[in-house]
Chain A
Amino acid sequence: MKKEIFTIVSNRKLTDSVFKMTLCGDTSAITAPGQFVNIELEGLYLRRPISVCDLEGERLTLIYKAVGKGTEQMSAMGKGEALDILTGLGNGYDTANSGACPVLIGGGVGVPPLYLLAKKLIGEGKNPKVILGFNTALEVFYEDEFCALGIETFVTTVDGSHGIKGFVTDALKSCGEYSYTFSCGPEPMLKAVYNESLTDGQFSFEERMGCGFGACMGCSCKTKYGYKRICKDGPVLEKGEIIW
C-alpha cells in the first residue's frame, strides 16, 4: 500500500453514467490485476474504492459508474486536478493456475479489472477469452478495447439490443472450451457464474468498506478457510473457499 497524490490526465464519459479517468502518479504499489485504489474526495468522510482497469508505467486508468455523491464528484473533475489515493489495495487475481485458455467474465462495472487481467494473461503467453455482460446496448463499454487485444470477445445484453441476448452465463455455455474462470460483477452474476462454470476459478467481490486496507474489519466475510476481509484478503476469492 502507498498513499500518493495523482494528477488527472483525462476524465471522459463512456456511457450515460460510466466514466473513464486516467491519472498520473506513483503506481508502484499496484502489483496485480484485480487490485483497487481508494480515493479521498472533498467533503466525504470515507474514501471511494475503485478497481484498477489499466496500468502503464505512471499511467493509471479507472472506470467507474457515477452512482452516488463520491463518483458523481469524480465525474465532474477535470484534467490537472489532484487526488489523494491509496494504491495497491487488495490481493488481486492470481494467474498462476489459469491454464492456457481462461475465460474472463465481467458484468457492468465489473468489466474494468478484467482488462488489466487480460493483458497480463496475454503477456504470459496465454489465450484468454472474455464475456462482457450489460443490461442494454447503451450501457456497453470497452468492447473495442478488448477486441483490440486480439482476444475473442463476447458481449451479452439482457434485452438483446447488442451482442448475444441474455446473461453472461448464456455466453459461457456457447463460448467453447476454457481452462479456468475469472469473474467480477454484481453478486447474483457471480453466483450464476459460480454455478455454471465448469472449471476452477476466482471471483471478485464487493462490500461496503471503511478503510479499504484491512484495519477496521468493516467488510469481512465468512469463507471455507475462515474469516476474510474483502479489502485486504480479497476482493478476489478462490472458487473453493466461497460460501454464498
Chain B
Amino acid sequence: MVNTEVVLSGITLTNPVIPASGTFGFGAEFAQLYDINILGSLSFKGTTVEERFGNPTPRIAECSSGMINSVGLQNPGLKAVCEHELPKLATLYKKPVIANISGFSIEEYVECAKAMERQESVGIIEVNVSCPNVHGGGMSFGVDAKAAAEVTRAVKAVSKKPVYIKLSPNVTDIVSIALACEDAGADGLSLINTLYAMRIDLKTKKPVLANKMGGLSGPAVFPVALRMVYQVFEAVKIPIIGMGGVAAAEDVIEMMLAGASAVQIGAANLKNPVACKEIIEDLSRVMEKYRISSLSEIIGGAH
C-alpha cells in the first residue's frame, strides 16, 4: 500500500493532484464525468474584483505539443464568484480549495484576498502576479522582484490563510523573484504560469490569436517548468506547487523529485476532461513501479 498524502502549509491533501486555475472553471463541467472529490485540491478560475470579458477571440491557438491561450482572465467578478460560484462549488467539492486571485493594482489584490479570507471553503490563496500593473506602467507584477514582493506583503497583511504566489516564467531570473516573495512573507509558491508565445496562420499570414500573443501550456513546457521548480527549490524554504505540462502520473513524480510538494494539472484537463482522475488512479501503479512508498518523502529527491 502506497501513501499519496502530501501536506501544503498544514493542509493535508489525499494526493498531490490539483487542477490548475483557468482549466477547470469552478468544477461543474468535470463533475458531470467523475466525482471531483478525489482531487487533492482544486484551484478555481482566476478571480478579479470586477467582472471581465477578457481578450477578443480567437484566443486559442494549437501547437504540436500544447496550446496558446489569450483568454485574458475572463471571470464573473469577485462578488459573483463569492455569492454564486463558490456555493455551487461547495456542493460538488468538500475539501479546501485554492482561491486564485488577480489584480491590476495592489488594492485589487487586497480586496480579493480579503473576500477569499472570509470564504470557509478556501484553504489557500494563490496570487497570480502575471497581470499587468496599471500603476506600474503596465508591466506585469510578476516580472519585477520589488513589485512581486509588494503584492505579497499587501496580501499577507490581510490574510490568515496561507498565501502562495503564482510566478511567471517570463523573467530573466525566476529565483530572485521567488526569493523576494519568500522574504515578503509568502507561505508558498506556485510555478510556472504560461510561457509567452505565438502562432501565425499561413492562410491569412497574420497571428492566429486576436491578441497576437498568449500563454503556452501543455507538454511542450514541462521541461522548462521542471527546471524552474528545481532551481527555485534550491533557493527557498517554502513549499512549491509545481505545474506546467504535467499530463501523467510519471510527470507528477518527476515534478515532486524536482521539489514540488504538490502538482497542478492545467492544459491536460482541456484535452482530456478525465485527465486528473486518470492521473490519480495511475499514481499508485507508478509509485510501485519506481519503489516509492510515500510521495511526501520524494519531494526534492533529485537534489
Which A residues form the contact surface with B (CB < 8 A)?
1-3, 40, 44-47, 86, 207-211, 213-222, 227, 232
Contact = CB atoms under 8 A, between A and B. Distances in A.
Contact of B29 (A40, A46, A214, A222): A214
Given A221-B57, A222-B53, A3 B270 contact: no
A223 B24 CA distance: 23
Interface in B18-76: 22-25, 28-30, 32-33, 45, 53-54, 57-67, 69, 71, 74
A207 B57 contact: yes
A140 B267 CA distance: 38
B218 interface: yes
Contact of B271 (A45, A214, A217, A232): A45
Interface of B: 22-25, 28-30, 32-33, 45, 53-54, 57-67, 69, 71, 74, 208, 218, 267, 269-274
Contacts of B269: 211, 215
Contacts of A222: 53
Given A3-B273, A217-B22, 14 more contacts: A1-B33, A2-B33, A211-B270, A211-B271, A213-B29, A215-B24, A215-B30, A216-B69, A216-B71, A217-B71, A219-B57, A219-B59, A220-B54, A220-B57
B60 A215 contact: no
Given A45-B64, A218-B60, A221-B57, A211 B273 contact: yes
Nearest to A67: B203
Contact of A45 (B28, B45, B67): B67
Contacts of A215: 23-25, 29-30, 269-270, 273
The 8 A-B pairs of least Cβ separation, nearest first, read A211-B270, A218-B60, A208-B58, A217-B74, A210-B60, A215-B25, A214-B29, A46-B62
A242 to B, nearest CB: 15
Contacts of B218: 45
Contact of B60 (A2, A40, A208, A213): A208
20 contacts: A1-B32, A1-B33, A3-B273, A40-B271, A46-B270, A46-B271, A208-B57, A210-B270, A211-B273, A215-B30, A216-B69, A217-B54, A219-B57, A219-B60, A220-B54, A220-B57, A220-B71, A222-B53, A227-B74, A232-B29
Chief secondary structure at chain B's binding surface:
loop
A171 to B, nearest CB: 29
A232 B25 CA distance: 12
A3 B277 CA distance: 13
Contacts of B71: 216-218, 220
Contacts of B29: 1, 213-215, 232
A125 to B, nearest CB: 33
Nearest to A211: B270
Contacts of B60: 46, 208-210, 216, 218-219
Nearest to B270: A211
A82 B71 CA distance: 32
Contacts of B30: 215
A112 B274 CA distance: 29
